[in-house]
Amino acid sequence: MSKSIKLALVYRDMWQSAGKYVPRVDQLVRVAQPIVDMGCFARVETNGGGFEQVNLLYGENPNKAVRQWTQPFNDAGIQTQMLERGLNGIRMSPVSADIRQMMFALKKKQGTDISRSFDGLNNPQNLENSFKFAKEGGMIAQGALSLTFSPLHTIEYYINLADQYIDIGAEEICIKDMAGIGRPVSVGKIIKGIKDRHPNILVQYHGHSTPGFSVASSLEAARNGADIIDVGMEPLSWGTGHADLLTIHAMLKDAGFHVEDINMDAYMEVRRLTQEFMDDFLGYYINPQNRRMNSLLIGPGLPGGMMGSLMADLEKNIRSLNKWMRKNGKPDITQEQLLIKLFNEVEYVWPQMGYPPLVTPFSQYVKNVALMNVIQMEKGKARWSMVDENTWGMLMGRSGQLLGPLGEDLQALAINQKREPYTGTPQDLYPDELEIFAAEMDKNGWDYGEDDEELFELAMHPAQYKEYKSGKAKEKFLADLEERKAKKSQSTGANNTPTIAAVPTSAAVAQSKNITVDIDGEKFKVNISYDDQPQNQPSTNNATAAPTANNAPTPTTQNGNYQELEAPLEGKFYLTKDSSERGVKVGDDILEGDTIAYIESMKVINAIAAEKSGKVIEIVAKHGEDIEEDDVMFRIV
């Protein structure tokens, strides 16, 4: 009798690997029953990752979305699964243990069966609570091995890591090939090694298709004992997403495995609805580059889930860099040239940074440092001259021990900046704070919601939740969408929504507006960012939040006898990164190399050092407001 292989549809990840948003709750409810009717899925990934944050960003209540979206699958007996980030919960920065514990119990009550927990450094220390809290809350605790390819991330390393996860409470194992760079034979050997030691442990394979290995890896996974294979489906399979259901299904069936038949009428309806959601508004937030596979990513190993934000970062940085190039009499650089330089720099800096697995959030850190290195070196400055504060936290052990040592340059830089390594338990750095958020709810007169779910949302995503409650999130989203529509209308001469799917079905054609996006010409521009609250979010309540009358230009300033300190990158300007820090004030003496401000850019906090010494006579930039590269921050004499 042939072995049965189950399939899981990663519907949430399909969207977030392609663009910024997921469908609205009304759309998710519409597509749920056709997914059930397809008849081939044992599991559906419904939420987790950035799901709740992006709901908040366009003004929707994520708790209602989770409950209504999971219900049809619960009713049909299809297991639902979510992705959570260990120490970070379901955001980009660490969260206290009491909020993490609350999350698992709540998500189970809302209809989520399985928690896929991963740690950005594969640190068992950060996942022990995840497994414990998941089981206490009634969920299945799945431990994810974040797969990457380096001299240190060997087959034996991953097999031993699975042992450690199982020892501390993981009930299932996921091979999380987030960049799709796991070599197929190695993937098979890892799964076989785990199954040989733990024959009763369920193993699920999750692979993005970006560089092209995932189909072969899925077959090797199945042949070596995997129980479930994650798949995507048109019109959001391939590219930075996942291998397509039809391809994987046909391949496994031909290889002799038993897989449940696909109801193709239901399949076409899911495909049509997904395309309809893209035509409605989601297509404006999907970069066409993310619909392509790219073997160049084998080298840098950047994950599919962050390629959207990467392309947006490149668009912004290429404009700023070329502005500087023209100002200094140098030729423009193309986006493709910058991309290749970035890929090469990632390959260089990754070993120097201790080989952190390139998964959220550390893939962002490695990419950001590499990108800043490229830009700074293009301007004739030194490598490592812009290392952000979030990255330093990782390098100094605040998220756990790195697998490899830091390079000599980074070690010397850390000593020079008097940065001390942290060797304790990362969770200890983030004491319980649920009571603080409860007090804030009470002060505002806000209802805690069913199962205290509104309290949880404030505690997990404080900045985004407050904007949702105030209505600002919905207002910003609608304004942004209208701006994108207007730009698209101007570029095409018609008010049409971009259709990005390949070869629409006849049903989809009837629904779509049949717009051709000029992909090679890069005419469809998008700005993708998750805007999750980063670690050490700068305080906007600090006493230095707004320049005072003392910051007004002095007569010396007006006479022009001063020097200007300019912003080295664009982003949001802050004088301090937290309320305990004293910001620079007019009259202060500063020395070259002193940290004088912070700029939040690319989801991290960058400490800005003074390039010259002097006395501050004017603070030009405004705390908490946007600043462009080369804008004046301070004037000094």
Q: In what order do the strands lie in the sheet with 632-636?
A: 563-566, 632-636, 614-619, 589-590
Residues 100-152: tens digit of each pLDDT: 999 999 999 999 999 999 998 999 999 999 999 999 999 999 999 999 988 99
Class of the domain covering 549-636? mainly beta
> What is the topology classification, in CATH, of domain 1-142+274-531?
TIM Barrel (3.20.20)
Reported as a pLDDT band with limits 50, 70 and 90, residue 595 is confident
pLDDT beyond 90 at 488: no
The sign one gets for the Cα dihedral 123, 126, 130, 132 is positive
Residues 3-52: tens digit of each pLDDT: 999 999 999 999 988 888 999 999 999 999 999 999 999 999 999 998 99
pLDDT beyond 70 at 517: no
Q: Are 397 and 419 in contact (CB under 8 A)?
A: no
Average pLDDT of 447-457?
A: 97
Residues 263-296: tens digit of each pLDDT: 999 999 999 999 999 999 999 988 887 778 888 7
Please state, for a pLDDT cut of 70, what percent of the chain lies above it. 87
Q: Is 131 helix (H, G, I), strand (E, B) or coil?
A: helix
Most confident of the following: 1-5, 468-472, 573-577, 598-602: 468-472
Give the C-alpha separation, 622 to 546, whole Å: 6
Q: What is the pLDDT of residue 1?
A: 62
pLDDT beyond 60 at 320: yes
- Which sequence spans correspond to the domains of the chain? 1-142+274-531, 549-636
Which positions ≥6 away from 478 have C-beta within 8 Å?
none
Q: What is the pLDDT of residue 542?
A: 39
pLDDT beyond 70 at 531: no
Q: Are 487 and 523 in contact (CB under 8 A)?
A: no
Average pLDDT, the chain: 86
Q: What is the pLDDT of residue 538?
A: 54
Q: What is the pLDDT of residue 570?
A: 81
Q: Is 48 helix (H, G, I), strand (E, B) or coil?
A: strand
Residue 4: DSSP 8-state: B
Query: Which of the two residues, 85 and 527, has the higher pLDDT score?
Result: 85
Q: Are 529 and 603 in contact (CB under 8 A)?
A: yes
The three-state DSSP-derived secondary structure of 176-238 is EECCCCCCHHHHHHHHHHHHHHCCCCEEEEEEECCCCCHHHHHHHHHHCCCCEEEEECCCCCC
pLDDT beyond 50 at 499: no
Residues 340-355: tens digit of each pLDDT: 888 899 999 999 999 9
Q: What is the pLDDT of residue 308?
A: 58
Average pLDDT of 524-543?
A: 42
Please list the residues that pair with 174 across neighbouring strands: 144, 204
Locate 571 and state its tokens.
Answer: 């982003």
Task: Tell me how far the alpha carbon of residue 279 is from its chain's centroid.
Answer: 24
Residues 190-249: tens digit of each pLDDT: 999 999 999 999 999 999 998 999 999 999 999 999 999 999 999 999 998 999 999 999
Q: How many CB atoms lie within 10 A of CB 281?
A: 19
Give the C-alpha separation, 134 to 115, whole Å: 7
pLDDT beyond 50 at 578: yes
Q: What is the pLDDT of residue 448?
A: 97
Tokens 């927990």, residue? Answer: 117
pLDDT beyond 70 at 304: no
pLDDT beyond 50 at 516: no
